[in-house]
Structure formats: C-alpha cells, structure tokens
Structure 1
Amino acid sequence: MTDIDVDHPLDPPAGSWQEEHLSRYVRTGGEDGHIWNGAPTLLLTTRDRELGRARRTGLIYGRDGDRYLVVASAGGRAEHPIWYQNLSADPEVLVQVFDERFPARARSADPDEKPRLWQIMTGIWPAYDDYQAQTEREIPLVIIERV
C-alpha cells in the first residue's frame, strides 16, 4: 500500500450515501461515522486490481481478539464486491478505525473457522444471514490482521 496514493483514493460515487459516510468518517477521524446504523465501521483501502490505485470502502466490522472481521456480502448480490475482488488479487490493505490507520493483510476465513466468526458478524449485523439466503454464492468472511 505504500507505493500508491492513499491520500487520494478512488472513493464511492459522489453524492452516494457511501461517499457521504466515508467523507464524514475521514473528516472527523471516525468520531462521526464510526457507528453507522448502530454498527461499528472501519475504512478499508485496497489496491484496485485493474487501475492499481487505492480504493477506499467503509465496512461494518467485528473483532476476534486482535483481528478485524468484515463480510463481503454486497447486500446479497450475485457478484463479490469490488473491494473483495481487489484484496483477493492483493491482500495487502490499509485499515482505518477512528483516526488510527495501519497496514494489514486480509484473507478469507477457511471453512473450519468461518462458522464461529460468522456468528460474531451476524450478532452485529443480522441481515448477513438474509443476504446469504438470497444469493447462490458463498459470501466470504474476511479476516484482517495488522502487519
């Protein structure tokens, strides 16, 4: 992540709720935006697999010890979200929680560990079970660890 411009990433479309949320989060160091609809959020920056530029996304997260957990649900759509496709190509990411930014490595949970971690995430955002029920793809649960 250090060789791309993380200060001017590709963000969600201007005027979208995602862009507005991300803008508030960045502007206030997460004081306004860390909690979104009752759930904690972090900012995940991945390298765009096609353009090579940083791409930042706000995501609901959970914790498993020192590890951060996020779900690549895309609201139950048939395709994996862009951020997940990006980290699948390059697992080196940048994470922001409140005003702390740190480099990390992301990976999909394996089949043995996913059920326990999925319970953590559905405890935070129960709709993940609904999203899984409405798509044929297996929704990945991503584990993020500081490097």
Structure 2
Amino acid sequence: MADLLEGEYVESSAQWVRDQVALYERTGGKEGWHLLDREDWPIVVITSKGAKSGKLRKNPVMRVEHEGKYLAVASKGGAPENPVWYANFLANPVVQLQDGPEPRLYKAREISGREYDEWWERAVAVYEPYAEYKPRAEAAGRTIPMFVLEPLD
C-alpha cells in the first residue's frame, strides 16, 4: 500500500463533520457510512492537505464510484463559493480516500466537458439533491467543480 498522507490533522470547525469522520474511522466504515439517516446516501472520507496551511483536513463526501475511480463534487449545497477543500485539491492533488476499513491514495483531477456530464449523471443518481444545488450555484455565477480521483497504487 502507498504511504498515507502525513502531517498534522486539524479537525473541521463543523461538529457534524468531526462526529461523522470520527465514527467512520473508528469503525472502519461499518458505521457513519451514510449521510444523515439515509442508507441510500453513502459517503467516503477524503483527507486532503491544506493549500495554505499544509495541515490535513478530512471531509465526508458522497460515495460516487465507477470502475475503481471516485468522484468528489465541490457542491457546498449550491452556495456561491466553493468548499475550502476545492483549493486543497488544486494545490495538493494527492488525497487519501477511505471507503471501508482501508484508506488508499488517489490523485484528484478536475474534470470538464463530456467527462463532467457523464460523472454528473452518476453523482445525481447517487445523491438527488445535487440536481437542486446546480441551479443555485449557477444563479450565483458558479459551476460546481468536480474531481475524478484515480488510485495511485
């Protein structure tokens, strides 16, 4: 297995994120693997290195997987701005993704065009609210960025 990301971990300022990440990691993904109480909304935990601080950040994101690759949707609920981890992925594209008990390293690559459209369909199939987030973001002048995560090992 590839070396996991190293550095100081800084917990999220959001209590629900801290709680979900801790539960997921403590149980190897047996608990905390879904958003809220919806078992049809699975998540994975992604660790990225801060663009400015260089410190590790962990975020639960929807589990959108296809042929061994994963998708990270920087939706932020359709907010006018990108989530903080978006800048982290651009500055430090090697991330750690945990889907179950074993984390692995992936390289994040921002996508566009036809590839974006194909992955968008997969994302909405997993998490329907993305369809509501898109017009909100667009009304604020933002296209929701997405990254494909490809395994390094």
**2:117 corresponding residue in structure 1:** 115
Secondary structure of the residue aligned to 1:120 is helix
Unaligned regions of 5+ residues in structure 2, if any? none
**1:146 corresponding residue in structure 2:** 151
1:4/1:60 Cα in 2 relative to 1: closer, same or farther (>3 Å)? same
* TM-score scaled by length of structure 1: 0.91
Unaligned regions of 5+ residues in structure 1, if any? none
Per the TM alignment, residue 11 of structure 1 is displaced from its structure 2 partner at its CA by: 2.1
Cα pair 1:71 1:141 within 8 Å, conserved:
yes
Q: Which has the higher strand share?
A: 1
Count residues in correspondence: 144
Q: Partners in 2 of 1:18 and 1:72 — Cα distance?
A: 15
Cα pair 2:5 2:96 within 8 Å, conserved:
no
> Aligned match of 1:45 in 44, 47, 58?
47
**1:25 corresponding residue in structure 2:** 24
Alignment of 1:7-86 (within 5 A): 8-13=8-13, 16-36=15-35, 37=38, 38-86=40-88
RMSD: 1.6
